[in-house]
Amino acid sequence: MEWIVGGGPIMIPLFICSILALAVILERAISLRRSRIIRPELVDVVNAVRGAEDINLILTRCNAVKGPFSNIIKRAISNAYLSREEKVLDIQATGRQEARALERMLVVLEVITAITPLLGLLGTVLGMSQVFDVISEVGLGQTKAFSGGIAQALRTTIMGLSVAIPSLIAYSSFDRKVDNLVLEMEKYSMVLLNKLYSKKKINDKGF
């Protein structure tokens, strides 16, 4: 704590940013677990579906298991009047909407990644300004007199980078994970769509 206090007033927003970043990282690490998004019971339903006669079973399971995966699956089985190509576009549009919902807290990490190095730089400038003020008063002979300003300059830079670097890594990791989860949900939806439309095509031909 003494080290933080020695960094001057800029350490306060930097410390707040570090707490926010840690909270978001922990929350997203829990919320974006694959087992929580790609629910196994819904995967089992998709694999078990044989055709359009199982739509009611799918809807029942999706209504019981809420989440982005069930939302995308419901789009795949709704609006039966649409062509297969239109259904694919509809699924992709729903996937983009769910991706935005999954990324809802990542903007906080993005902002923290951008502002903490700047706050560190501001603390550095303030610290060096303090050093020059002391030098102008006592000269260069009293090194201990301006060591506090140098310490402040270095500590804010260290703190800013220490918050920004993990935040950037976490942001990139979560952003990529959201993309992969959405692609996997769309993949299962396409599997379901292929089953429904292949059976429909056979029925239309009268076989």
What is the tens place of the pLDDT at every residue in 128-163?
776 666 666 665 555 555 566 677 778 888 899 999
- Asked if the model's pLDDT at residue 73 lies above 60, the reply is yes
Domain segments of the chain as ranges? 2-205
User: Rounded to two decimals, what is the model's pTM?
Assistant: 0.78
Of the pLDDT bands very low, low, confident and very high (cuts 50, 70, 90), residue 79 is confident
CA dihedral 170, 173, 177, 180 (to 10 degrees): 160
Position 108 pLDDT exceeds 50:
yes
Which tens digits make up the pLDDT trace of 161-206?
Answer: 999 999 999 999 999 999 999 999 988 888 888 877 765 544 444 4
